[in-house]
Structure 1
Amino acid sequence: MDQQTYKQFIIVLLRNYIFGSFIAVFGIGALFMFTTLNINFKESFVLFMILMISLIIMLILESIVFSKHIYPIKKVFLEQNYSLEDLKVAYRQTHRLPILTVYRIFGPHLFGLSFPAMLISYICIKMNIIQLPLYYIGIAFGASVLVAGMHSIIEFYLATKALKPVLITIREKTLTQYKFDFSHHSHLYISIQSKVLYSAIFIGVFPILLFSLATHARFAEASIPLLTEYWSWAIIVIIVSILFAFYGAYLLFNNISEPIQILEGGMRQIQLGKLVYQNDVYSDEFSKLISGYNQMVSGLIRRDSVNKQLLDSLFTTLALALDARDAYTAGHSVRVAQYSVLIGEQAKLDNETLDLLRKSALLHDIGKIGIRDSILLKDGRLTEEEFTEIKTHPVIGATILSQVQPKEEMESLIPGVKYHHERFDGLGYPEGLKGDSIPLFGRIMAVADAYDAMTSDRPYRKGMPYQKALSIIEEGKGTQWDPYFAQLFINYMKKNVEDTNEDRDKQSV
């Protein structure tokens, strides 16, 4: 299959080369030579033979250079032993083939044809085999440069089209054998600006330059004594044409590049996790691209919304399932999450951090899965040994979350789960962290967890009134709890719970 792809690729390149050469050398070059010059049959035959000899020399030189250019691609298609680096080189070389084609045409193609032809023509003129002025050799060289330019443009775009199956095959081979995907990496070997500017300028100026050279030759053949005046006029026309072609190509490039840059910017935003719609202000094919991009963004937004709902439901369901092991702690994790978010809001945390805080709080007691029911559900106070075992649940919880894939999605939740029982004075567990060395989520969740534990009923006691729980937190500021977050919670609860009670009393009256 690989050999067939490579063989077909070479056939297409050769076919394109013959087609481009025929148009450029025989279509334009020969037409220019034999229709412009007033020569007899013998001279025409001599010029034709000069052209054929030069063509053979050109083909030999160009085949040598082409073999060197194609070798990295040939290696991964026809040889068995190749490495990832070989595939990367072949992939890059395939992308570079169109521009390498241009180099070949302006290198061995142009000089391999024109230099021998100029040399043999010079000899034939000196030997009176053909009756032509020597300066015609210079005109012929100028025409050959123009022909090579037109040939290079044709070959560039034909080669660009031909290499696509090869690129696809190399990508599939690399992905299958080495799990490396070229499509995740951008490749810029020639810019759109260069393609548009050079193509438009050459296509716009080529006919005028070729016509100017042909007209000069005809004037010289007819012995019209106006060559000086002709070139004074022709140069002005050529300069104006070049400037117009350059400006037109510049406007064309800007018109094409603007929507591309907009889409490229949108893709970068998507990579950063920002889904932003783009304004459709175009009335050509780019309108379809912008529309397709916006539809893609809509699909991503819907998918993210569904995934977020599923993930939120999963966290909440997991927390409720965990709390359901003990009827007395039912809803504990959900309430701790609510209190934690409340404190985070008072501390002016951003929405993304608040969402992570809520998820971490929902799972803060997940480690109790590893605690025996005889301890977790015990009626009455725990013994010292039992309390020592239950103190392992933060580490168990952190270990459980560290096994969840992908790890990077869980990393930000683990500190709160592991350190919500640390004390601000360093007397907590599991590591005895102190002060600000306790992670942010751990310090916030410690206040929320303690408040809910104090105000909730237990088998061995009734939940205490919120005023008493707040009073205990007030006394423990700076020792058991972070004073800043503890005070934020106290201020909020005093204001909002008291306001709620007053409203309830007014309604009852």
Structure 2
Amino acid sequence: MSYNKLAIKLLLNYLIGSLIAVFVFCRIFIFHPLQVSKSETIVILGLVMVSFIVMLIMEYSAYSKQIAPIKKVLKYRRPTLLRVEAAYQCAHRFPLLSFQRIILPHFIGITAPAAILTILAINTGLLSFPYYYAFIACIAALLIAFMHGMIEYYLTSLVMRRVMKFLKEKGNELFQRDISHGAHLLLSIKKKFYFSAALLSVFPMLLFAAATTLRLHESGSAFLMEYIVWAVIVVIIVLAFALFGSNLLSHDIQEPVEQLQNGMRKVEAGDLAKLNNYYSDEFRDLINGFNHMVDSILEKKQMSEQLHDSFFTVFAATLDARDPYTAGHSIRVAEYAQHIGRRYGLSESELALLKQSALLHDIGKIGIRDEILLKDGKLTTSEYETIKLHTIIGEQILQEIQPSEAITPLLPGVRHHHERFDGYGYPDRLAGESIPLFGRILAVADAFDAMTSDRNYRKGMSFKKAFAILEEGKGSQWDPRFVDLFIAWYQTEYRKQASLKAVNE
């Protein structure tokens, strides 16, 4: 996109609005209702041309300042990031700036000199109008300026959307940045409806009423005052209906828009709820599209979660496969830990993290040599110290996974599942509740499965004996709360299984 092409498009938009406004003003408001001579017509056209030139000078000065940020980017091949961002914000505001330019420099530039020159022409006898005609002409010019401003706003919006698209692509291409962030709401739909409806309904009525009033005054009609009162009443009624109708229409449009906005905010917050769809216009398709998007996200999220869980399970199974005597250990620890966590009152998201931490709690054993990890019989002091390093190695391995936010909640359980409640565990000799929550839960689950599983050098003990050891170690090796919760779960589960067995028999 080149600046010259943009300037031509904006100029065409401006000329369309300006020529229509001047034609409407001169043809309908001045020459049609007023009986003017040929010489007065020439004087009026001269006044309009002088005023038009003054207006162009003032408006071009304002336009040059407003377009400058966009011009700087379009004129240079390698603009800076700050300039691209400034240009984008300028393009975002430019339709509203165009409207303001029409109402201020445009209106003042043409009205002030026209009114002054008209009064001078009346004083010198070049025009035979009453002085108050100049005042009425200023009011009419203000109405026309608002109409021109509205046209300019919508035409410029169409052009600036393409400019914003170009600038956003340039920001991505040159700086890999999304420069569209930070663009905020400038004009609500409700205000657009109110203003457009009021102007489109009242503008032709006021212009017609003013032109008719002048014509009646010229003809000396006796019904002039009666017509003025009637015209004012009609204008007020039309304006009231226009505002009432625009209010109904804006509400009809704002409701689904707000529903979509709330839905998007919920999606951003992780709440993938579908929207109710009871619309019969184009918003029906938009709501359906949003709901299809939510369905697609839910489906992909479910697949991602399944893949995520499978990854941790396969990882744990791969680790356990190094030692056939510990096969399934991590999966069982995860199951026991979740029963403890559920009875403790952890949320579903916390339980999911606890499960993942349990599946990976022994991942550090990958870094332990087979001759130590798979050794038959009792380990030496040196070998035991090496085995103890698996908690630190596991944490170091997981810290390499990206994004770090996803793996950080799992690290405490991996590092601290061999801490003792009395402070004589490893690797950091933490005590009591200074041991992270996941570490205390996994300590109970890990110890129970280690005691009840077969090893190459011993056979696993009974559940009854393992629970007795857990009871003895409450407050010294393990957190008493989690031992009690685990035993309570098992007893409840045992009674359920006994009842089912009795029913089946």
TM-score range, shorter chain: over 0.9
Which deviations, in whole Å up to 9, do the C-alpha atoms of 1:51-83 show, x marking residues without a partner? 111111111111111000000111112135643
- Classify the secondary structure of the residue corresponding to 1:36: coil
**Structure 1 position 503, deviation (Å):** 5.2
Which residue of 2 is the match for residue 480 of structure 1? 477
Report the equivalent of 1:353.
Answer: 350
> In the alignment, what sits opposite 1:168?
165
CA contact (8 A) 1:367 1:394 kept: yes
Please state whether the residue corresponding to 1:266 is helix, strand or coil. Answer: helix
How big is the shift at 1:344? 1.0
Task: Identify the match of residue 449 of structure 2 among 448, 452, 455.
Answer: 452
**2:303 — aligned with what?**
306
Amino acid at match of 1:233: W
Structure-1 residue corresponding to 2:178: 181
1:285 maps to a residue whose letter is E
Q: Which residue in 1 is equivalent to 2:122?
A: 125
C-alpha displacement at 1:438, in angstroms?
1.1
Report whether the alignment pairs 1:275 with 2:272: yes
Structure 2 CA distance for aligned equivalents of residues 89 and 191 of structure 1: 22
- Report the residue type matching 2:208 in the other structure: F
Match of 1:401 in 2: 398
In the aligned structure 2, how far is the partner of 1:495 from the partner of 1:504?
A: 14
Per the TM alignment, residue 440 of structure 1 is displaced from its structure 2 partner at its CA by 1.1
Who is 1:335 aligned against?
Answer: 332
Report whether the alignment pairs 1:375 with 2:372: yes
Deviations 1:104-136 (A, max 9, x none): 111111111111111111111111112111111
Amino acid at match of 2:186: Y
Amino acid of the structure 1 residue aligned with 2:437: L
Amino acid at match of 2:153: F
- Higher mean displacement: 404-413 or 237-246: 237-246
Change (3 A) 1:317 1:186: farther
Which residue number in structure 2 is paired with residue 98 of structure 1? 95
Q: Contact 2:28 / 2:211 at 8 angstroms: preserved in 1?
A: no
Deviation at 1:208, TM superposition (A): 1.2
Distance 2:103 2:24 in 1: 18
Contact 1:275 1:297 in 2 (8 A): yes
Cα distance in 2 for partners of 1:96, 1:503 equals: 72
Rounded to whole Å, the distance in 2 between the matches of 1:216 and 1:360 is: 85
3-state DSSP class of the match of 1:262?
helix
1:359-386 deviations in Å (ceiling 9; x for gaps): 1111111111111111111111111111
Name the CA distance, whole Å, in 1 between partners of 2:18 and 2:81.
36
Amino acid of the structure 1 residue aligned with 2:308? L
Q: Is the 8 A contact 2:198 2:242 kept in 1?
A: yes
Q: 1:191 aligns with which of 188, 191, 194?
A: 188
SS at match of 2:346: coil
Provide the alpha-carbon RMSD of the alignment. Answer: 1.6
Pairing partner for 1:156 from 153, 158, 175: 153
1:426 aligned onto 2:418? no
The amino acid of 1:229's aligned partner reads E
Contact 2:92 2:183 survives alignment (8 Å): no
Describe the shift of the 1:288–1:506 C-alpha distance in structure 2 as closer, same or farther (beyond 3 A).
closer
Q: Which amino acid aligns with 1:423?
A: R
Give the direction of change, closer, same or farther, for the CA distance of 1:503–1:34 in structure 2 (3 Å limit).
Answer: closer
* Alignment-derived partner of residue 248 in structure 1: 245
- Please say which of residues 218-227 and 283-292 is displaced more in the overlay: 218-227
Look up the match of 2:226: 229
Aligned residues: 505
Matched residues in 1 for 2:479 and 2:26: separation?
A: 87
* Partner residue of 1:134 out of 127, 131, 147: 131
8 Å CA contact 1:106–1:148 kept in 2: the answer is yes
* Residue-by-residue CA offset, 1:20-65 (whole Å, 9 max, x unaligned): 1111122344332111111111111111111111111111111111
Q: Distance in 1 between matches of 2:499 and 2:117?
A: 111
Taking the aligned partners of 2:503 and 2:294, their CA distance within structure 1 comes to 51
**Kept in 1: contact 2:89–2:183 (CA 8 A):** no
User: Is 2:354–2:438's contact at 8 Å kept on the other side of the alignment?
Assistant: yes
Distance 1:389 1:186 in 2: 58
Matched residue of 1:98: which SS?
A: helix
Query: Quick one: which amino acid aligns to residue 87 of structure 2?
Result: A
Mapped to 2, the partners of 1:504 and 1:221 lie a distance apart of 109
Aligned partner of 2:35: which letter?
N
Cα separation, partners in 2 of 1:55 and 1:314, compared to 1, 3 Å: same
Please, which moves more after superposition, 100-109 or 20-29?
20-29
Query: What does residue 27 of structure 1 align with?
Result: 24
CA distance in 2, matches of 1:41, 1:316: 96
Question: CA 1:391–1:262 in structure 2 vs 1: closer, same or farther (change >3 Å)?
Answer: same
Q: Distance in 2 between matches of 1:429 and 1:26?
A: 90
Superposition TM-score, scaled by structure 1 size: 0.96
Structure 1 residues 304-348: Cα deviation after superposition (integer angstroms, max 9, x where no partner): 011111111111011000000000000000000000011111112
| Contact 1:323–1:332 (CA under 8 A) maintained in structure 2 | yes
Residues 24 and 121 from structure 1, CA distance in 2 versus in 1: closer, same or farther, beyond 3 angstroms? same
**Which letter does structure 1 place at the counterpart of 2:222?**
P
In the superposition, relative to structure 1, how do residues 216 and 329 fare at CA in structure 2: closer, same or farther (>3 Å)?
A: same
* Structure 1 segment 58-77 matched on structure 2, within 5 A: 58-77=55-74
1:185 deviates by 4.6
Alpha-carbon distance in structure 2 between the residues aligned to 1:205 and 1:501: 85
| SS in structure 2 at match of 1:282 | coil
> What's the secondary structure of 2:409's corresponding residue?
coil
Cα 1:29–1:378 change in 2 (3 A) is farther
Identify which of 403, 407, 410 aligns with 1:410: 407
